[in-house]
Structure 1
Amino acid sequence: MSRIKLVVLDMAGTTVADGGLVEQAFGAAAEHLGVEPGSADHAEKLDYVRATMGESKISVFRHLFGDETRAQQANTAFEEAYGSLVDAGHIAPVPGAREAVERLRGDGRRTVLTTGFARVTQDAILAALGWQDLVELTLCPADAGGRGRPYPDMVLAALLRTGAADGVREIAVAGDTSYDMLSGVRSGASVVAGVLTGAHGADRLTSHGATHILRSVEELPDLLAREGR
């Protein structure tokens, strides 16, 4: 088995506990576009948001609202609402996440944080947690061509930008959503770990390609060490 030299970690739900802020921010965005809270339309759209957790948010809004103008309006409203919740102190690290990242780095593994949010929101989260210097590279969909998950682009961009590994089999990916799993599988990563601290449960993570299921990202360093990776 290849030694893991590059670890690509999702943020919200995996290393960052946001307590359902995505759904709250979506509610603000939907209302901004005239979707009535409590309506069948609202419920249907919220179900789609839940099903596609981890995907680039602008892609989600393009699906939900059709034309590009409305999608951009929804995305702007979402990012503003989420940013306000972050500024109000409604996020925290997943317990043990920072320590896990520090241990991964101490084990000689390069580590990258990725998100489906826009750069402005990702930076706000990093600043709120004091994580600006925790890893050498952070990526949002726009940094890797704009498609985001479930495409493998951010994982492959992490490989190309860090030069940390000789090939994709030396990559581990961890996340809490089915789209995180698909992104890892499609990138060719040999470890695709689903964590149970976020949006999706073990069955869904496994059905979308998880090679391992962990209670938390805190367990990832031990997993890699135990498997001699």
Structure 2
Amino acid sequence: MSQGIELVVLDMAGTTVHDGGLVEQAFDGALEDAGMRTGTSEHQRARRYVWETMGQSKIEVFDALFPGEPDRARRANAVFECCYDDLVAHGCEPISGAEKAMSSLRDDGVRVCLTTGFARGTRDRLLERLGWRDLADLVVGPEEAGRGRPYPDMIHTAARNFGVVDPRRVAVAGDTGYDVLAGTRSGASVIAGVLTGAHDARTLTEHGATHVLESVADLPAIVRA
């Protein structure tokens, strides 16, 4: 097993969950509600920032988009969560092979943690709709860890929870540059970028991916290598 991996930390949307661009659609709804009309230069700049920071805590994204306007940021975040909840109710499914990969890793004695930049309420509703309450050993978000990606706090929180002291015993997988950067900063020995979500192989590699995989379904073979 690669470096004796004891813990695998997996992103949700785009990595284990296929949402067909629902995150971006929810951001568009929030930006429109905040007064950014589609097609304007302001909206385009905001949309570009959202894309570049995929994987980051959503409230942190809105805080950056609306500096010095905490009420506007909180309103936008609330609208985002509401839009996303409505969208996933009609279109949300696991990435092909993701459930099998997680079950296989756990069968091998590897702990599995899901991480997300969603707020706790949105995350819990997503898990409920997927029927994933018992699929992973742990689910961690910024509210539990203190900071979201690109900081490694969620990964470190998961490691502490399971008593994993050596970061080289941790594998991380995600579909965004920020997922990968958080893995790099955590000291994990396996940092897999997957091509089922927001960012391409070049972006994932530039942020420090040790592996670029077609899907999280390929991760167990890397962990076992």
**1:174-189 maps to which residues of 2 (within 5 A)?**
174-189=173-188
Aligned residues of 2:172 and 2:183 also touching (Cα < 8 A): yes
**2:196 counterpart residue number:** 197
- Residue deviations 1:163-194 (CA, integer Å, cap 9, x gap): 2x241110000000000011001011000000
Residues 45-64 of structure 1: pairs in structure 2 closer than 5 A: 45-64=46-65
Instruction: Please name the residue that 2:87 is paired with.
Output: 85
Q: Give the TM-score of the pair, scaled to structure 2.
A: 0.97
**Residue in structure 1 matched with residue 168 of structure 2 by the alignment:** 169
Unaligned runs of 5+ in 2: none
Verify the 8 A CA contact 1:52 1:179 in the aligned structure 2.
yes
Counterparts of 1:96-107 in structure 2, within 5 Å, are: 96-107=97-108
Distance apart, 1:68 and its partner CA: 1.0
Task: Tell me the residue number matched to 2:20.
Answer: 19
Q: Contact between 1:53 and 1:179, CA under 8 Å: does it hold in 2?
A: yes
Select the residue among 74, 77, 82 that pairs with 1:75.
Answer: 77
Distance 1:131 1:42 in 2: 35
Matched, 1:142 2:155: no
Where do 1:33-52 residues align within 5 Å? 33-52=34-53
CA distance in structure 2 between the partners assigned to 1:108 and 1:214 by the alignment = 22
Structure 1 position 72, deviation (Å): 0.5
Q: CA deviation at 1:79?
A: 0.6
TM-score normalised by the chain length of structure 1: 0.95
The amino acid of 1:76's aligned partner reads A
Q: Deviations over 1:4-31 (max 9, x none)?
A: 0000000000000010011110111111
- Contact 1:86-1:124 within 8 A present in 2 as well: no
SS at 1:131's partner residue? coil
1:221 matched residue in structure 2: 220
SS of 2:156's equivalent in the other structure is helix
1:80: Cα distance to partner? 0.7
Find the residue that maps to 1:2 and give its secondary structure: helix
Is 2:32–2:38's contact at 8 Å kept on the other side of the alignment? yes
Counterpart CA distance in 2 for 1:136 and 1:96 is 18
Structure 1 CA distance, aligned partners of 2:6 and 2:27?
A: 36
Q: Tell me the secondary structure at the aligned position of residue 77 of structure 2.
A: helix
- Determine the C-alpha separation between the residues in 2 that align with 1:221 and 1:107: 9
Instruction: Give 3-state SS (helix, strand or coil) of 1:112's partner.
Output: strand
AA in 2 matched with 1:90: G
CA distance in 2, matches of 1:132, 1:224: 24
Aligned to 1:159: 159
For residues 40 and 134 of structure 2, the distance between their equivalents in structure 1, rounded to whole angstroms, comes to 43
Amino acid aligned to 1:213: V
User: Structure 1 residue runs of 4+, over 6 Å off?
Assistant: none
How many residue pairs end up in the alignment?
223
